[in-house]
Amino acid sequence: MSSRPDLRLDWCSHEAAKYAVEHWHYSRAMPKSKLAKIGVWENDRFIGVVIFGVGATSALVTRYGLTPIEGCELIRVALTSHKSPVSRIVAIALSMIRRTYSGLRLVVSFADPEQGHTGGIYQAGGWIYSGRTQSSPEYIFAGKRWQGRSWRHVSYATTDPASVEVVMGSSKHRYLMPLDAEMRARILPLELPYPKRASEASSDAPAIHAGKGGAAPTLTLQQ
């Protein structure tokens, strides 16, 4: 029986996070907003990144009675092949975020059924499921698909509208992780039964398992 791998999480550089997202996340797109980037190492091998950010709109957390700076979104979990459970990796990353940003009270994340995801890692981590989002427009340009906020951040948004295809995005599963007891009590009435898991080979829904790691950590949080 193999021994439990040595798992380590630390703040990482933008370059390391970008590499992980572009190689190991199904979107292949690095978020553009202000980010907190946590690198993941297994037996001293860089295996990916967990990224938190401000989210697409302020309504991400204001609907729960919070100010925009009191909540954030878990935007990306991008991992190559690994042995540690993704739920454990995410739990450690949440602990780091809670310690570093003491004003945070809620983390929100989404699972995209269009990608075959039901949120298995959130269910394993005890997140609160609050239903599905409304569909919103997405944009296809030069073979790449962009969500609304990402599209507005790129220069492609000024291109010829005739070269852009507008499609409706999927309705995503929404998961909530309260960071204190009062916040948990506040959102618990919103809890719904977990959606049934799709027949996936693993519960590592946000990740693509391929490739090799090799980036080095930095100890400062970068934008």
| Dihedral sign, Cα of residue 62, residue 66, residue 67, residue 70 | negative
pLDDT above 50: residue 94: yes
* Strand-strand pairing, 173-178 and 128-132: antiparallel
pLDDT-derived band at 64 (thresholds 50, 70, 90) equals very high
The model's pLDDT over 139-159, given as tens digits with 9 standing for 90+, comes to: 677 666 656 555 555 555 556
pTM: 0.76
Backbone phi, psi, residue 44, to 5°? 65, 15
Question: For the chain, first and last CA: distance in Å?
Answer: 41
- Asked which of 34-38, 72-76, 103-107, 204-208 is least confident by mean pLDDT, the reply is 204-208
Strands 106-111 and 71-79: parallel
Is residue 199 exposed (0-12), middle (13-18) or buried (19+ Cβ within 10 Å)? Answer: exposed
**Residue 123 vs residues 48, 147, 200: alpha-carbon distances, Å:** 21, 25, 14
Average pLDDT of the segment spanning 84-111: 96
Per-residue CA distances from 34 to 30, 45, 65, 159 (Å) = 11, 26, 22, 25
Residue 180 pLDDT: 96
Q: What is the C-alpha to C-alpha distance for residues 15 and 214, in angstroms, rounded to an integer?
A: 12
Picking from 69, 137, 153, the residue whose alpha carbon sits closest to that of residue 103 is 69
Indicate the pLDDT class of residue 11, thresholds 50, 70 and 90: very high
Task: Dump pLDDT digits (tens) for 40-63.
Answer: 999 999 999 999 998 777 789 999
Cα-Cα-Cα-Cα dihedral of 56, 181, 90, 195, to 10°? Answer: -70
